[in-house]
Amino acid sequence: MKKLIKGATILTMRDDKLFNGDILIDGDNIADIQTTITAEVDEVIHGEGMVAMPGLINAHQHTPMSLLRGFSDDLKLMDWLDKKMLPAESRMTPEDIYWGTKLAMAEMIKSGTTTFADMYIHMNEIATATEKVGMRASLTRGLVFLENDGGRRMSEAVDLIRRWSGKAEGRITTMLGPHSPYTVPPQSFKEVIALAVQENIPIHTHLAETKEEVIKIREKYNQTPTEYLYHLGLFEKAHVLLAHGVHLNQRDIRYLRGMRGGVSHNPVSNLKLGCGIAPITDLTEQGITVGLGTDGAGSAATLDMFEEIRAATWLQKLDYGDPTKLPAIDALRMATVGSAESLDIGHEVGTLEIGKKADIILIDLRKPHLQPIHNINSLLAYCANGSDVDTTIVNGKVLMRGRQLLTIDEDELLKQVSLRSKRIVDGI
């Protein structure tokens, strides 16, 4: 199947240059990008008035938590997690997880996200939903070792890797997910690292999200959370995806230098939970890759990556008292290239280039809040919303056209969500 996107303004993210042109998709690949392409194709996608750019990559998610959106807000992270989220999660059935994932995917596709990195439970259901709906995902079974069934969870993590790595036409990759420095003791963390090395699989973990975490780890190990992971050999041995990285001092940042992988910055979740502002500018100045994520909708409220892009740039400007920090194009780069490299899939997605996977979004600029067109990077980073995305393509397949989802029945989804979400939180 060949498709031709005609007459779009193309932002490849290889550099910050824009040009008017066409993109030829052959199967799941980008076959050509040029000012004018003439080819026999099965479908022409009209891009006039639209920007074609790489699909956005959400580098940190807990997808089924979309069922818990708005259930518990305005609490401190540990109260929110222990008193509200964990009890609700213990009531979620595998079917709930399946429908919660679909809810998240509907929102992501409708706001221009083509790939997500997930850490959760019942991963088989998340993988099945991903396979059916057509998104790209890096899936991780979250491992918490404070209770006594760590072994079962490890076996589920291994099962996920064996069953799903490279599946769904190559759209699914997997990672190992020790939840955080405060939920995984040193010996268990070392075992997970050893398994990651043996399987050649990246590690996805939370790091330094709150001040309370820093205090807890100092009390337990007399180290910062970053030092704790460094001394376990994590940054030296594995490719790592570190969610948050809010509370990092200059020495912590030096420990991260040279690591394979990156930090997922989740500014909206950090704002809403009052965690703080991650030192993104310092990280990138030290050569550390930074991607962008939302965290689960239970904490972040929405999965609209345009909100994250905007929050990321504004927070750096505010934090440094300097509007030149994190310019528009750099925030867009975080949501595409930065996330792709953090997920270890930068060779496949994150930029529009011949030979890469055709994960492409079209953003309709023919709206009052996106006019006039002086600077498209500024419009995308500072003015656009997820609802401006007209078309979402993953692996060469159109998942949304003219804002209509093609692989999810929205009416059925909303019915399922309404029934299940009420039952899960009832009485908590």
Ligand X SMILES: CSC[C@H]1O[C@@H](n2cnc3c(O)ncnc32)[C@H](O)[C@@H]1O
- Considering only the stretches 101-109, 295-303, 336-344, 376-384, report the one whose residues sit in contact with ligand X under the rule CB under 6 A: 295-303
Within 8 A by CB and 6+ apart from 86, the residues are: none
In the complex, least distance from residue 290 CB atom to ligand X, rounded to whole angstroms: 17
Choosing among ligand X, Zn ion, none, which partner's interface includes residue 120 (Cβ < 5 to 8 Å by kind)? ligand X
Q: Is 203 in the site for ligand X (CB under 6 A)?
A: no
Choosing among Zn ion, ligand X, none, which partner's interface includes residue 356 (Cβ < 5 to 8 Å by kind)? none
Specify which residues 9 forms β-bridges with: 20, 51
Q: Which is nearer to ligand X, 90 or 375 (CB)?
A: 90
Which residues of the chain form contacts with Zn ion (CB under 5 A)? 295
Q: Is 96 in the site for ligand X (CB under 6 A)?
A: no
- Tell me which of 125, 156, 227, 295 binds ligand X, using CB under 6 A: 295
Helix (H, G, I), strand (E, B) or coil at 248: coil
Helix (H, G, I), strand (E, B) or coil at 196: helix
Q: Is 142 in the site for ligand X (CB under 6 A)?
A: yes
Which residue, 138, 106, 81, is CA-closest to 299? 81
Choosing among ligand X, Zn ion, none, which partner's interface includes residue 179 (Cβ < 5 to 8 Å by kind)? ligand X
Q: Is 81 in the site for ligand X (CB under 6 A)?
A: yes
In the complex, least distance from residue 17 CB atom to Zn ion, rounded to whole angstroms: 35
Structural contact between residues 288 and 255, judged by C-beta atoms closer than 8 angstroms: no
Calpha distance 40→166 (Å, rounded) = 31
Calpha distance 78→212 (Å, rounded) = 9
- Tell me which of 171, 179, 204, 239 binds ligand X, using CB under 6 A: 179
In the complex, least distance from residue 60 CB atom to ligand X, rounded to whole angstroms: 9
List the structure tokens of 28: 């799941």
Q: Is 107 in the site for ligand X (CB under 6 A)?
A: no
Question: In whole angstroms, what separates CA 302 from the centre of its chain?
Answer: 12
In the complex, least distance from residue 300 CB atom to ligand X, rounded to whole angstroms: 9
The amino acid present at 18, given as its one-letter code, is L
Choosing among Zn ion, ligand X, none, which partner's interface includes residue 53 (Cβ < 5 to 8 Å by kind)? none
List the structure tokens of 240: 């790592």
Choosing among Zn ion, ligand X, none, which partner's interface includes residue 144 (Cβ < 5 to 8 Å by kind)? ligand X
Specify which residues 240 forms β-bridges with: 203, 261
Within 8 A by CB and 6+ apart from 381, the residues are: 309, 310, 313, 328, 329, 331, 332
Q: Which is nearer to ligand X, 119 or 352 (CB)?
A: 119
- Considering only the stretches 113-121, 307-315, 324-332, 391-399, report the one whose residues sit in contact with ligand X under the rule CB under 6 A: 113-121
Choosing among Zn ion, ligand X, none, which partner's interface includes residue 44 (Cβ < 5 to 8 Å by kind)? none
Structural contact between residues 395 and 171, judged by C-beta atoms closer than 8 angstroms: yes
Residues annotated in a binding site: 60, 62, 89, 141, 152, 179, 206, 209, 295
Helix (H, G, I), strand (E, B) or coil at 340: helix
The single residue listed with the structure tokens 């280039």 is 353
Q: Which residues bind ligand X (CB under 6 A)?
A: 62, 81, 85, 89, 119-121, 142, 144, 179, 206, 209, 269, 295-296, 299
